[in-house]
Chains A and B, each alone.
Chain A
Amino acid sequence: MEKLRGYFTKRGVTLTATVLTAAISANSVQAAPLGLAATVTASAAKGTLIPATLTTLVNTTLKTMTWLPFKFALGISMGILLAGGAVAVYSSLPHKVAAAKFEFEADGELTVQQIHGDKILLQESERFEVSVKDDKWFIVTKPHPGFQPAGMVRYEVGSENDAIYQVSYLDKKTLAPTSLNTAMGRIETATVPENIQGNQVAELWLAFASSHYLMAQKTESSSQSIT
């Protein structure tokens, strides 16, 4: 718990142990596969209201931490950074529509700022590459060395046939000697990537690869709940 709290503190977020344990307990079902979450959860306080932003933050952290030895995992920020709140938008697969035919590739730069109040807590910069062909897409983000999140050097995510595949390649220099893996991956049945902070894939998907998804929706320029 102290290590976890230290992780957030390093990134400018001060959390009490009670707040952390409550947030962890609320998210430990998903985080359960390895030992850490259950161990922490066993002492978790109940009944504390936690903003969703913090919940997401801890949840994502736990997901990351379950993938690697604890010691190393503290240094990784694959999917999270500061006071992050996921923007929950799309929650199920859209109806398929006749795919429009188009293709393109784009490269560029991203700048990410984490802000609290009037202060910029963190600013990061990274390169991106996007490839789109009809309803298939592939996105690569590469943090600049000076802004490199601890442990991650390259992130790739792509989608085919209503599944999203993603891989984070880890900086081998930061790996613990006992680490068996040098990359972390994920598969899910979905057409829309999660808004996991740290890789900016959701934003890039929205900008370049959301055509078919939006095409499948009934209306635009109007408020609606997307299901």
Chain B
Amino acid sequence: MIDSSMRNEGWEDAARWKRFDGEPRLPQMVDYINEKDIGVNGWRRLFIPLPPPFVKGFTRASYTVDSVTNTGGLTLPTGFSFKEYYVERNTQPAELKVMRIVLATVTSVRTVCERTNFIPTLTEATYIGDDRFARTPKPIAELPYMVTNGIWPTTNVQWLKDLYQQYQLHHELDVPCAHD
């Protein structure tokens, strides 16, 4: 639940949560607290001080389970809401406003999982953005390539290694890959 660019900046929100007592101990409520707003100045990200009364932070998002079912020894949500907020700076004083609401209603639950493959099957020509090299010593945020044989490549496939090195070279020369 992160924005990848923020992750690269090492930025994170604090969170507090409470879980159900019953297995699999899923969250009953979660609040995400943002202590400083984030903005951008040219190429750099900035922490922007929050206006009163939010100088110590604000609830950026909240997750709440509205109803549950106890089935086969599991406590599972049958309804939840997720709300995201922003600080409206154009009011005096600043106000917390809802900007997005996700409401979920569960229509069926089965305490058996018939799925055996948890990786999506590539059944069509797929353009891939590969972020697995983003945390290497010489990081590449995203390697783009096309997959037409239905196989997710492992990182040690030779053509992917070659592509990674090609992109590294561009970075070392400080040439954006977009100019290829």
Interchain CB contact (< 8 A) of B146 among A38, A181, A223: A181
Contact with B along A113-143 (1 / 0, CB 8 A): 1111100000000001001110011100000
**How many chain B residues touch A (Cβ–Cβ < 8 Å)?**
96
CA distance A110 to B126 in the complex (A): 26
CA distance A225 to B108 in the complex (A): 35
B113 touches A133 (CB 8 A): yes
B152 touches A214 (CB 8 A): no
CA distance A103 to B2 in the complex (A): 26
Is residue B93 within 8 Å, beta carbon to beta carbon, of the partner chain? Answer: no
B74 touches A102 (CB 8 A): yes
B12 touches A91 (CB 8 A): yes
Is residue A66 within 8 Å, beta carbon to beta carbon, of the partner chain? Answer: yes
How far is the CB of B33 from the nearest CB of chain A, in Å?
A: 6
Mark out the residues of chain B between 1 and 57 whose CB falls within 8 Å of any chain A CB in the assembled complex.
Answer: 1-7, 10-19, 23-27, 30, 32-33, 37-46, 48
Interchain CB contact (< 8 A) of B3 among A34, A51, A59, A109: A59
Stretch at the interface among A3-11, A144-152, A154-162: A154-162
CB contacts (< 8 Å) of A32 on chain B: these are 176-178
CB contacts (< 8 Å) of B15 on chain A: these are 89, 223-224, 226
**How many chain A residues touch B (Cβ–Cβ < 8 Å)?**
109
CA distance A145 to B76 in the complex (A): 28
Interchain CB contact (< 8 A) of A181 among B118, B127, B152: B127
A108-B106, A181-B124, A188-B132 known; 11 new pairs, CB 8 Å cut-off, are: A36-B178, A46-B41, A55-B5, A55-B38, A82-B99, A87-B1, A87-B60, A163-B132, A187-B129, A188-B4, A188-B131
- Would you list 13 pairs from A and B whose C-beta atoms are within 8 A, ordered by A residue? A47-B41, A51-B86, A89-B15, A100-B23, A114-B99, A117-B97, A163-B132, A180-B125, A182-B125, A183-B124, A185-B152, A195-B1, A205-B1
